[in-house]
Amino acid sequence: MYLPPLFPTLLRTTGAGFCYNIGRIAAGLGTVFFGLFSHVGDFRMALLYAALLFLPAGAIALMLPVGAEERAAS
């Protein structure tokens, strides 16, 4: 099934624009947020907090199902 014909063009473009730009907003807020944790010349805590974001991302990646391409390769 091909999904784009099920939605009007305005809704599709609005959704695509939202998804594209939410990353920019998160990056801007993240810069300000981590900037609050850094003292002048000391970015260790900000880098630690940024590095800790990879732990839940790695756990979620490990819980993802195996794709058909990977099953066929093994």
- Give pTM, 2 decimals: 0.45
Burial 5-26 (b: 16+ CB within 10 A, else e): eeeeeeeeeeeeeeeeeeeeee
Q: Mind listing the pLDDT tens digit for each residue in 29-53?
A: 988 887 787 666 677 877 888 889 8
Cα–Cα distance, 10 to 21 (Å, whole number):
16
Per-residue pLDDT tens digits for 47-63: 888 889 899 999 999 99
pLDDT at residue number 1: 59
pLDDT at 7 > cutoff 90: no
